[in-house]
Structure 1
Amino acid sequence: MKAVVCQSWGLPDTLTVQELPDPQAGPGQVVIDVKAAGVNFPDVLIIQGKYQFKPELPFVPGSEVAGVVRSVADDVTTFKPGDQVIAFTPTGGFGQQLVASAQALAPMPPGMDFETAAAITLTYGTSHHAVVDRAALKAGETMLVLGAAGGVGLAAIEIGKALGARVIACASTDEKLEVCKAHGADVLINYSTEDMREAIKAATGGRGPDVIYDPVGGEYAEPAFRSIAWRGRYLVVGFANGDIPKLPLNLTLLKGASLVGVFWGEFVKREPKANLAGMRQLMGWLQEGKIKPHISGRYKLDETAQALNDMAARKITGKVVILP
């Protein structure tokens, strides 16, 4: 099989496409023919050795796939060859085949296409855990989403609207904000051309948002937090900007506000039943049309480095997928 290989820590252009032996299923494992693999910002960090999880070199990056079961170990009874499945694994996604634990698989819902199936696990799982579980966003509340046109940002917008909240989307271009509007955002703020604090003040009547969803970090974190409502919840989702902000902790005191960490990968390991319940709710919303992954680009296997470069340069709206 062909797969993208990371042989040393570095930028996307250091990745190579290689011919590797076909994987074999060990105890409790399943081999999948990968039909689509989701690309996520953590993939950009993992290949540089800059993520919370650091695999041993060499490895095949990519964690989010949809495909067809090729073979199963003798002790696996939950899946069989020919089943269409979604898998979330630490590594191995950017290849024609993937071996994974059967426990890391879920059946694809009837009628779902492979691209959608490969685009829903990490972004929607992260945003559901953040917005529903960690922030406990309620109907009638207001949520501000930074980096709103990215994969997790658009997912947060849709989940906020599914819960009955008012959603303010912040992004760096008017084109990105139009995508946010199409996915349900009520108010649009271009933080490249507008004074973000003044725009938030105007959009909330001076009250501030109840929840702030921040996958970006960097220079926008402090002005956003200074705008938060009394008893607001600030979701620390990630640092796509590259800089980890240092917030004055007196702001939490003045606003009676909470800084809330969001680490979906650890949540999945520690609270699998709660994660499964969240995924079931997401699948229900998907069938009802309340959420719909926005897939803005499709790349071949040998274009994986370009996909990751585009992700790193924040040229992507929503999700992109690799089609091996």
Structure 2
Amino acid sequence: MPTQKALIVKEIGGRVVEVSDWPIAQPGPKQVQIRVTVAGLNPHDQKGRDGGLFIKDNLPAILGNDVAGVVTEVGSEVTKFKVGSEVTKFKVGDRIFAQSAIDAVYRGKALQQYALVEEDHAAKIPNGISEHGAATLPINAITAVVALFHPTAGLGLPAPWTEEAKTFDYAGTTLLIIGGGSNCGRFGIQVAKLAGIGKIVVVGGKESELKPWGATHVLDRHGGDDVVLKRIRDVAGDDLVYAYDCINGPDKQYLGVSALSNTKKGKLARALPSGPIDESKILGGREEASYELADVFGASHLKAETTKPFWDRVGEYLKDGQIVPVPYVVEEGLDADKVNALLDRYRDGKPVTQTQFRISE
């Protein structure tokens, strides 16, 4: 079997190291092999390296779910379209981006020279969009799609491509997003605007950045919980039933719950579902209305009923400017030292801009 260069985790709590004998896998029937050009890393990759998140039972492991590249081989059952002569959804030479699956063999992960991606979780990169820009989407945009539209792992709003969307009152709907300055928040705003939600209230982030993406109100997150809650209530009143917390752990998710209506049953989708909320901290009480929690897991392969229709359309959304990439920085090369330095910044709580590693041209 041919081999390649890859960056791997050999032991939990150790360093990412380079190997040159990682196997190059051949695509299955519904898979596409790509020469990886761009690999994107996110905070959960640091949790994988240092704490074993998703990888502890299957070492050695490769990190990185955000990947872009150039198609080198196409599986035998990749969707075929009849346009004159028969063509496939993807062909050799296409630039595509994808979200790799969480699995035990890591064939789709980003930190290697060649990867396999699933047809259903990939899309062509339109002209005018860079591979780096496209690679900012997979984890964060898919998390937003699941948070807003999945019936149990999200808020259960009708996705705009569904039959239910034809009669749903998006314009009369209010959505609260906590953590608007995060990448999950930035894409949450864009996905909410895509759906046509009328009032998108955001806590945190820069107004000059977030309003052009669709936020109708951008609120200062400073001043204390009572002050922030009053800011939310001044905009949303007591009618809020949809909230999405992109950044807080359970110890601080009480703010989102507190902002929900006291008279109507509301729902909080949380991107960090690692434990119960301390209900003693909820402001204003919940005597008259209950609430639901939705534990968001932004994995395309596990939520395909919600995410595949988005993948089918995201190329057009990018082309039309309905979805735009978030800011990023570029590091050159499949470089273990640079990867470890980035993961260390996540570990140490230092500010990090979405970082893309340029692996090949």
Q: Which of 62, 65, 82 is the matching residue for 1:63?
A: 65
Residue 180 of structure 1, CA deviation = 3.0
Residue 62 of structure 1, CA deviation = 0.8
Unaligned stretches of 5+ in structure 2? 80-87, 159-169
The letter for the 2-side match of 1:56 is: N
Select between 283-292 and 268-277 the one with higher mean Cα deviation: 268-277
Map of 1:239-318 to 2, 5 A cutoff?
244-248=275-279, 254-265=288-299, 268-269=300-301, 272-300=304-332, 301-302=334-335, 303-312=338-347, 313=349, 315-316=351-352
What is the TM-score with the length of structure 2 in the denominator? 0.74
Aligned mates of 1:19, 1:71 — CA distance in 2: 21
Residue 235 of structure 1, CA deviation = 0.5
Contact 2:33–2:72 under 8 Å retained in 1? yes
Residue 164 of structure 1, CA deviation = 2.8
Residue 53 of structure 1, CA deviation = 6.0
Contact 1:36–1:323 under 8 Å retained in 2? yes
**In structure 2, what is the equivalent of residue 23 of structure 1?**
24
Closer, same or farther in 2 for the Cα pair 1:22/1:155, shift >3 Å? same
Contact 1:149–1:177 under 8 Å retained in 2? no
Q: Does 1:187 align with 2:217?
A: yes
Q: Does 1:97 align with 2:113?
A: yes
Contact 1:169–1:177 under 8 Å retained in 2? no
Closer, same or farther in 2 for the Cα pair 1:178/1:219, shift >3 Å? farther
Q: Does 1:212 align with 2:237?
A: no
Map of 1:114-263 to 2, 5 A cutoff?
114-133=131-150, 134-135=154-155, 136=157, 138-162=170-194, 163-171=196-204, 176=206, 178-194=208-224, 195-204=227-236, 206-207=237-238, 209-215=240-246, 216-229=248-261, 230-238=264-272, 244-248=275-279, 254-263=288-297
Aligned mates of 1:122, 1:56 — CA distance in 2: 21
Q: Secondary structure at the match of 2:232?
A: helix
Select between 211-220 and 43-52 the one with higher mean Cα deviation: 43-52
Closer, same or farther in 2 for the Cα pair 1:282/1:83, shift >3 Å? closer
Closer, same or farther in 2 for the Cα pair 1:27/1:144, shift >3 Å? closer
Contact 2:27–2:33 under 8 Å retained in 1? no
Closer, same or farther in 2 for the Cα pair 1:160/1:150, shift >3 Å? same
Q: Sequence identity, in percent?
A: 22
C-alpha distance after superposition, 1:85-112 (max 9, x if no partner) = 2232234534342332554653414314
Residue 58 of structure 1, CA deviation = 1.0
What is the TM-score with the length of structure 1 in the denominator? 0.81
Larger Rg: 2
Aligned mates of 1:8, 1:118 — CA distance in 2: 27
Contact 2:78–2:119 under 8 Å retained in 1? no
Residue 63 of structure 1, CA deviation = 1.5
The letter for the 2-side match of 1:81 is: V
Residue 114 of structure 1, CA deviation = 1.0
**In structure 1, what is the equivalent of residue 167 of structure 2?**
none
Unaligned stretches of 5+ in structure 1? none
The letter for the 2-side match of 1:315 is: P
Closer, same or farther in 2 for the Cα pair 1:184/1:45, shift >3 Å? same
C-alpha distance after superposition, 1:260-305 (max 9, x if no partner) = 222232xx44553442113334444333322212123222332222
Q: Secondary structure at the match of 1:20?
A: strand
Aligned mates of 1:203, 1:309 — CA distance in 2: 39
Higher-helix-fraction structure: 1
Query: What CA RMSD, in Å, does the superposition of the two structures yield over aligned residues?
Result: 3.1
Residue 321 of structure 1, CA deviation = 1.7
